[in-house]
Amino acid sequence: MTKHKSITIRDPLWDTIRLDATACRIVDSPAFQRLRYIRQLGLAHLVYPGATHTRFDHAVGVYHLADRALQVLGARGLLGQVPEPECRLIPLAALLHDIGHYPFSHALEELEEGRIPGHHEALVGRFLRDPEVSGALQEVSAEAPAFVESLIRGASRSPLQGLVSGSLDLDKIEYLRRDAQFCGVPYGMVDVDRLLHALTLLRDPETGRIELGVHEKGIASLESLLFAKYQMFRNVYWHHAVRAATVMYKRIVDDGLRSKLIDREELVGQTDESLLFVLEQRTLEADGSDALRIASLLHALRARRLPKRAGEVVAAELDSNAAGWLSVDSPLKRQIEDRIATELGLQPGDAFIDFPEKREMFGLNILVQRRDGGVFRLGPGGRAGLIGLPRVADELYRTARVLRLFTLGERRNVSSAALARLAQLSEADVRQVVEGEAQLLA
C-alpha cells in the first residue's frame, strides 16, 4: 500500500490548502479522482466559458473550510464537548460530501423519482464502501464510514452536523465563492471570515441538544449568504441558456433510459464525458427512430445548438399553488410537451417545459446567540428586531424561479399569459386536455 503523508496544494480561491495523510489517501482513490471529470456547474460552461471547475476542486475547498471552522471553534475551547474522532471526521465528511454525484452535477436529479437510483446523497454509501475510501476512514475509527455517511445525509446527532449539512453548511459558502470566481461574476461574495468567526456551539432551549449555531454578530454574514445565493441562482444557475442546455441533456438521458440504450444503474459512477460517449456509441449500434433522435440531440448539444425560449413567466407572477407536475420530468409532462409541440407546428420532442425547483435553497433553521447570552432559533417565522430572513428568502426564491417553454428549430412565441394559465392546470386538468382535443395554450 502506498504510504501517504500530508501535502500542501495551491488553490486559486483559498490559496494554500493542507490535506492530512488520511485526506490524501481518500483523494488518491479512483472513486474520488472521478470528481475531476464532473464539472461543478454542469453545462454552465456553454454560457460562462470559465465555468469548467470541477466537483474535485469544490470538495477540496469544503474540506479546507471545515478545517478552518474547527480551528476557530477549537481556539475558543468549544470542542471539548465533542469526541476527538468526530472532530477528525468532519473535514473528511466535507471532502466526501459530493462523491456520489452524477455526471453534469444536479441535472439528472430533476428526473422523475425512480428514473435514477436516487439523489447523490443517497448514493454516498456505495462510494464509502469502496475499499480504498473505507480503509482510509477506518484509520480514524471502525465506525467512521457509517458516521461519515450519516453526516453527509444530514442524519447524525453530532453537535458539528451543521458544518456538513444544514442551513449553514460549508458546502454552500464554498460553491458560491468558487462558482462566482470561475464564472467571472460579482454575485457570489460571502463574508466568509466573519461567518466562520461567528460560529459557536449552542444548546437548543427546547431539546437541550448541542448544535452548531451563530452569534448574533454573524447575522449580517447570513444576509450576505442569502443574497449571494439569490444572485447566483438568478444569473448563473438558472440562466435561461444554462437551463436550455440542461433540459436538452435531461431529455437525452431520459430518452436513453426509456429506449433502453442505457440502464439507470449505469448512470452511477460515470463522468460527464464518459456518459455522453456511452450514449453516442449506443445510438450508433442501435436501430430505430429513438436512437436517431437521441443522436441528433447529442450532436446539437455538442455544437451548442440549444432550444430557444418561446415564452417565460416569473414564479412571483404565478399563483403560489402552481401545479406540481411542472417541476418533474414525468411521462405526463412529456405528453404535455409533445402536445404543445404539435400545437406550435413542431415535431413531438421539440418542446421542453422548464420550471426548476429548489425549495430548500433559502431555507433557514439555525440557533442564534444574542449579545446578552440568550439563544433562539431563526426559522421560518423570522425574529422580531432582525431582518425577516425567512420571509425575504421566500420572495427571493419566487423572483429567481422562472417557468420557461423552450423549443427546437425556428423560434416560436408564446405569451406569458398562456404559460401562466397552463401553470394553474391541475394534473387531472392536463390529463383531460391531453386525452381530448382542447388546446393547452389556447
Distance CA 118, CA 59 (A): 20
Structural domain contains residue 369: no
CATH number assigned to the domain comprising residue 304: 1.20.1250
Enter the DSSP assignment of 439.
Answer: -
Distance CA 292, CA 354 (A): 24
Residue labelled with grid coordinates 442546455: 245
Q: 69 or 395: whose pLDDT is higher?
A: 69
Q: Residue range 432-441: average pLDDT?
A: 86
Same domain membership, residue 82 and residue 29 = yes
Same domain membership, residue 270 and residue 177 = no
Q: Is the pLDDT of residue 384 over 50?
A: no
Structural domain contains residue 12: no
Same domain membership, residue 423 and residue 347 = yes
Structural domain contains residue 203: yes
CATH number assigned to the domain comprising residue 97: 1.10.3210.10
Element (H, E) at 213: strand 210-215
Same domain membership, residue 182 and residue 84 = yes
Determine contact, residues 409/350, Cβ cutoff 8 Å: yes
Helix orientation angle between 144-152 and 84-96, rounded to the nearest 10 degrees: 60
Structural domain contains residue 180: yes
Q: What range does the domain containing 300 cover?
A: 240-358+400-435
pLDDT digits (tens, 9 = 90+) for 22-50: 999 999 999 999 999 999 999 999 999 99
Structural domain contains residue 412: yes
| Number of domains observed in the structure of the chain | 2
Residues 6+ apart with CB under 8 A from 115: 254, 257, 264, 329
Q: Residue range 370-388: average pLDDT?
A: 72
Q: Residue range 322-338: average pLDDT?
A: 88
What are the angstrom distances between the C-alpha of 396 and each of 41, 183, 289? 21, 21, 43
Distance CA 286, CA 188 (A): 45
Name the phi and psi angles at 20, rounded to 5.
-75, 175
Q: Look at the alpha carbons of 183, 188, 194, 200 in this order and tell me if their dihedral is positive or negative.
A: negative
Distance CA 266, CA 335 (A): 26
Same domain membership, residue 311 and residue 203 = no
The mean of the pLDDT values for the chain is 92
What are the angstrom distances between the C-alpha of 355 and each of 138, 251, 312, 358, 393? 43, 15, 10, 10, 18
pLDDT digits (tens, 9 = 90+) for 219-271: 888 888 888 999 999 999 999 999 999 999 999 999 999 999 999 999 999 99
Please name which of 404, 435, 438, 431 lies closest in space to residue 419, comparing C-alpha atoms: 404
Enter the DSSP assignment of 111.
Answer: B
pLDDT digits (tens, 9 = 90+) for 190-222: 899 999 999 999 999 999 999 999 999 988 888
Distance CA 101, CA 116 (A): 12
Same domain membership, residue 156 and residue 39 = yes
Angle at 318 between CA 317 and CA 324, to 5 degrees: 150
Same domain membership, residue 43 and residue 190 = yes
Same domain membership, residue 77 and residue 130 = yes
Structural domain contains residue 377: no
The pLDDT of residue 383: 55
Angle at 106 between CA 298 and CA 310, to 5 degrees: 60
Q: How many of the other CB atoms lie within 10 Å of CB of 24?
A: 16
Helix orientation angle between 55-75 and 170-183, rounded to the nearest 10 degrees: 130
Distance CA 51, CA 44 (A): 6
Distance CA 403, CA 34 (A): 34
Determine contact, residues 205/379, Cβ cutoff 8 Å: no
The pLDDT of residue 393: 75
Same domain membership, residue 245 and residue 102 = no
Cell of 343: 400545437
Structural domain contains residue 129: yes
Same domain membership, residue 404 and residue 310 = yes
Q: Is the pLDDT of residue 390 over 70?
A: no
Give per-residue burial for 214-229: e unless 16+ CB within 10 Å, then b.
Answer: bebebbebbbbbbbbb
Same domain membership, residue 246 and residue 227 = no
Q: Which residues pair with 10 in a beta bridge?
A: 16
Same domain membership, residue 272 and residue 222 = no
Helix (H/G/I), strand (E/B), else coil: 167: coil
